[in-house]
Amino acid sequence: MDIKEISLEDLNTDKFIAEIIEQISSSVGSGVAINALSGGVDSSVVTLLGHRALGNQFRSFFIENGLMREGEPEHIVSIFRDLGVSVELVDARKNFLDALKGLTDPEEKREAITGSFYKDIFSELVKKTGATYLFQGTNFTDIEETVAGIKRQHNILEQIGIDPEKMYGYKVMEPLIRLRKPAIRELGKVLGLPEELYSRPPFPGPALAARIIGEVTEERLDTVRAATRIVEEELAGCGAFQYLAILHEDRVVGMRDGRRDFGQQVEVRCWDSMDAKTGTPTRLSFDVLERLGQRISSEVPGVVSVTYNITAKPPSTIEAV
Ligand code: XMP
């Protein structure tokens, strides 16, 4: 891998920002660039850099792929409106759900999501805006994991032999490729992102689809979305690196109102980690775990079993898909 990491200790934020802005301006020239904002710290930082460097020549889109958390698209668009950056919401729910229909293999699901983003949605946006560049928030860890063959990160192209210009008709620029999360958070802070965004736990590009084992359907998305809200409410402020809910495919026998209920299983994961490369399960108190079990099984329709993952990464990974 010939990309060299810039560690948090070695990062001079002002110098880095100045250099990236210069690089963006000289590459894009008088053209147009676009990006997809997901509300994660990586794409949020890219959005602010693009806006600073290019002003109106930069257009930012939030792709509503139907895989996001409750209320997320509107919330993120409104935060950026307050920052003076207008973000256009694109309704692409049907594209993604159609592409995921019938797929159960993790890598095939990831590939379907990548295809929907790059081939369908971004190509269309490039055509509509006349953009020559797509900016994205790929970071050093994404590259490392894809090159190591652990998971195909949704935003990796070149490292798996895809030339976006030949294949999709636009160039991709990745301003954060030499940084890991802690350094990207630091940049976000300096660029004026609200703390809610720069200190947010990571959230994967394939979104809730990375947390559904088996087929991704609207109904199963509703289930994992509701469980995710509860996990985030209960674990916000616990200091962990990341916490999530996973919907399993296997059903188990449970009971509700004195009757047998062959129901669904949700797994809660909560991680202590520095940079997502390795991780250990957070030692949550049993009271917290019991409350999660009680809330998820009573508030999320169909769930009769809630478990807590006690495996470290490796051999586990942070997400389940
Ligand atoms: P894993 O599951 O590989 O995740 O241990 C490591 C970190 O990366 C996030 N993740 C992704 N982020 N696109 C992303 O932008 C992806 O395809 C993707 N898959 C996993 C995950 O949430 C964790 O923080």
Residue having the nearest C-alpha atom to atom 12 of ligand 1: 204
Residue having the nearest C-alpha atom to atom 9 of ligand 1: 204
- Whether the per-residue pLDDT at 194 is higher than 90: the answer is yes
Q: How confident is the model at residue 51 (pLDDT cuts 50, 70, 90)?
A: very high
Q: Separation of 204 CA from ligand 1 center, angstroms?
A: 5
Q: Are 36 and 136 in contact (CB under 8 A)?
A: yes
Instruction: Work out how many domains the chain is built from and give that number.
Output: 2
First to last CA, the chain: 25
- 204's tokens: 């994967």
Residue 152 alpha carbon, nearest atom of ligand 1: 17
- Whether the per-residue pLDDT at 1 is higher than 70: the answer is no
Q: Are residues 173 and 236 in the same domain?
A: no
- Whether the per-residue pLDDT at 153 is higher than 80: the answer is no
Q: Are residues 174 and 26 in the same domain?
A: yes
Match 């999709």 to its residue by tokens.
Answer: 168
CA distances from 72 to 62, 203, 212 (A): 10, 12, 18
Mean pLDDT of 257-263: 95
206 cis-preceded (ω within 30 degrees of 0): no
Mean pLDDT of 123-141: 94
Residue 59 lies in a domain: yes
Q: Separation of 255 CA from ligand 1 center, angstroms?
A: 35
pLDDT score at 164: 87
CATH number at residue 276: 3.30.300.10
% residues pLDDT > 70 (the chain):
100
Give the dihedral of Cα atoms 277, 317, 122, 189; nearest 10 deg.
Answer: -40
Mean pLDDT of 233-256: 97
Distance CA 71, CA 15 (A): 36
pLDDT score at 141: 86
Q: What is this structure's pTM?
A: 0.90
Residue 1 lies in a domain: no
Mean pLDDT of 68-89: 97
Q: Are residues 170 and 138 in the same domain?
A: yes
Residue 275 lies in a domain: yes
Give the dihedral of Cα atoms 62, 64, 67, 73; nearest 10 deg.
Answer: 60
CA distances from 18 to 9, 12, 55, 178, 191 (A): 18, 10, 15, 15, 11
- Chain centroid, CA 173 distance in Å: 18
Instruction: Give the residue among 166, 188, 167, 171 at the shortest CA–CA distance from 134.
Output: 171
Model pLDDT for residues 164-180, shown as the tens digit of each residue: 888 888 999 999 999 99
Q: Are residues 83 and 194 in the same domain?
A: yes
Q: Are residues 244 and 303 in the same domain?
A: yes
| Structural domain of 101 | 13-198
pLDDT score at 255: 95
Q: How confident is the model at residue 142 (pLDDT cuts 50, 70, 90)?
A: confident
Mean pLDDT (the chain, rounded): 95
Residue 84 lies in a domain: yes
Model pLDDT for residues 5-40, shown as the tens digit of each residue: 999 999 999 999 999 999 999 999 999 999 999 999
Ligand 1 pocket list (CB less than 6 A) = 142, 145, 150-151, 153-155, 202, 204-206, 210, 242, 276, 313, 317-319
Q: Are 181 and 203 in contact (CB under 8 A)?
A: no
